[in-house]
Structure 1
């Protein structure tokens, strides 16, 4: 997540520069054909371009709105994880005031669940855009915490070795950790260390964590509908290609109303104007593409790593632990 006031123009241009040379070339070719080689039939009526541009803008807006909805849903899921985790920390202490070791174990195991979940959210999917050239270059500005250490190293901080080895064998580690929590609660109830009301209450919390995990996994593992993606790309590419052809006749007529050095050369202004319009369309599409996958490790992601670090600090403070690591990991106004 970007936490500065705004991206600078230099940052944004650097991020989108991969399309600049292509768009400039697309504006240069029709001018050569029309103005230099005299191929006048390449000029397209502006009404055709206007209709195509309107359709492109409509689909682009629709797709970006859906992309933002996915990101907002992901933010809501992790906000709910934070709220429920705080409640878990409170009841783990209040219900087990006479057994601080078990209370600590329940809280540490929960931190392990949050850790395992964020690692699974950072796994690369084939439809994500993190490996595209522009994103790879921009990612030099920050590091992804889940790529700095392994999951095993992180879980070893919160789980005993015997539990850790069994959990690492599971296909879904997060699910296995919640199952471990449930087994612990059952054992506590059988030993009469918690009563039936407390047992049911804590089991409901685990069920809610399962639900939130499922919602987060659904966003991660379900790509944005490909049919919208392909039609959006085709429209933008078609519009960018045809736009300068639609400007030829109108800019050529401007020569009749000017004098001096620009007389007869007004048509060359098509290059900057067509570039600017096409660049704006393609840049908006690129923003949407990098919003639709809110866990992939991009600058506009939901900051699940920072959320996890902050949540860990709060839960450990509930246990009375002090001198904790500073979990504020902002890099160039970006937190993950």
Structure 2
């Protein structure tokens, strides 16, 4: 999902509005207690607050780099799936033929065998993207109200229809029932592909070298699948994520106690020259605290959202769009009628699925 989003300041404010209101309210309460009620003991030396802020900045920076690394690796994996899928379609088109068949078959039979191999590959991509969208216990972005609002607006395809319904479009009933009975459905589909091309080799519709070439492509697909599953099934280490979250909250809670006295002192020093400004200058600390807390919170939250690049948020890799794009390309290469080729999933809120 690298070219699919166009975020505005409005989007960011709406996404973090609850936290923003809390930071404004919290800083306002501390300021009222300090200024109006004279609770001047609500004072924390700025040095330890600044030290905690520095530690938080390092932790959040590390977390963001790691999260972006996971997103970028996932995007490269699915980019490789695009290339290997096109290679599969090309080799199937050219290598399944009567050239080495002792008993040649009709062109319609050849065309049907190619169609089955291509459709089964589309079924593999479909099963893989559904597996990547399956929610893991450590994926918690759906628990946030604003994240749920985004998910409700973008309608992830894997949440609209079931895998079984989708596989009906590409597989025979016998194969579909077999695949749905397996826990790892994408692996079962690649096994079916291997068995199919071996059968074609046995009857001479694929010669020995072509069989090995197609097996090598299947091996590449297994590699891409394994890499994608590794990211999906191995969460970002919780000790780093949890520490960043807790330190960010501690810093946001301590920040007003360090900044408000500083603004009070600045205001006091201004009263001789600018009485009105100096008298009310302490209130500038409220939006200032809120902005600083918002910046740290938003960076930390961006890192949390990016930890799991297949979760289905607006910042994730658009595996549904990628898969549908490959399907369209491969079915066009089969010279199918455009009316039966599905259209690309539409963008919603400038977000690809």
* Residue in 2 that maps onto 1:140: 152
The answer as to whether partners of 1:2 and 1:334 remain within 8 angstroms in 2 is no
State the 1:38 CA deviation.
2.5
3-state SS of 1:141 partner: helix
3-state SS of 1:42 partner: coil
* Residue in 1 that maps onto 2:289: 274
The answer as to whether partners of 1:3 and 1:333 remain within 8 angstroms in 2 is no
More divergent stretch after superposition (218-227 vs 25-34): 25-34
The answer to whether 1:329 aligns with 2:340 is: no
More divergent stretch after superposition (281-290 vs 97-106): 97-106
For residues 74-89 of structure 1, the aligned pairs below 5 Å read 74-89=74-89
The answer as to whether partners of 2:96 and 2:114 remain within 8 angstroms in 1 is yes
Distance in 1 between the 2:170 and 2:143 partners? 32
Distance in 2 between the 1:209 and 1:138 partners? 32
State the 1:15 CA deviation.
0.5
Change (3 A) 1:288 1:36: same
Q: Mind listing any 5+ residue stretches in structure 2 that lack a counterpart? A: 99-109
More divergent stretch after superposition (15-24 vs 257-266): 257-266
The answer to whether 1:194 aligns with 2:206 is: yes
The answer to whether 1:257 aligns with 2:270 is: yes
Q: Mind listing any 5+ residue stretches in structure 1 that lack a counterpart? A: none
* Residue in 1 that maps onto 2:247: 235
Change (3 A) 1:107 1:4: closer
RMSD between aligned alpha carbons? 1.5
* Residue in 1 that maps onto 2:53: 53
State the 1:153 CA deviation.
1.1
* Residue in 2 that maps onto 1:10: 10
More divergent stretch after superposition (321-330 vs 308-317): 321-330
State the 1:4 CA deviation.
5.8
Distance in 1 between the 2:4 and 2:312 partners? 18
Match of residue 126, structure 1, among 124, 127, 137? 137
More divergent stretch after superposition (71-80 vs 320-329): 320-329
More divergent stretch after superposition (82-91 vs 282-291): 282-291
State the 1:35 CA deviation.
2.2
Q: State the TM-score, normalized to the length of structure 1.
A: 0.96
Distance in 1 between the 2:327 and 2:237 partners? 35
Q: What do residues 201-258 of structure 1 show as CA deviations (whole Å, max 9, x unaligned)?
A: 1111111111111111111111111001111011101110111111132211122214
For residues 156-195 of structure 1, the aligned pairs below 5 Å read 156-195=168-207
The answer to whether 1:96 aligns with 2:96 is: yes
3-state SS of 2:161 partner: coil
State the 1:260 CA deviation.
4.0
* Residue in 1 that maps onto 2:106: none
Change (3 A) 1:284 1:88: same
Distance in 1 between the 2:276 and 2:97 partners? 87
* Residue in 1 that maps onto 2:118: 107
Distance in 2 between the 1:233 and 1:127 partners? 15
Distance in 1 between the 2:165 and 2:41 partners? 67
Distance in 1 between the 2:212 and 2:247 partners? 54
3-state SS of 1:41 partner: coil
3-state SS of 2:342 partner: coil
The answer as to whether partners of 1:70 and 1:292 remain within 8 angstroms in 2 is yes
The answer as to whether partners of 2:179 and 2:189 remain within 8 angstroms in 1 is yes
Change (3 A) 1:123 1:5: closer
Moved over 6 A (4+): none
Distance in 2 between the 1:220 and 1:33 partners? 48
Q: State the TM-score, normalized to the length of structure 2.
A: 0.91
Distance in 1 between the 2:226 and 2:263 partners? 56
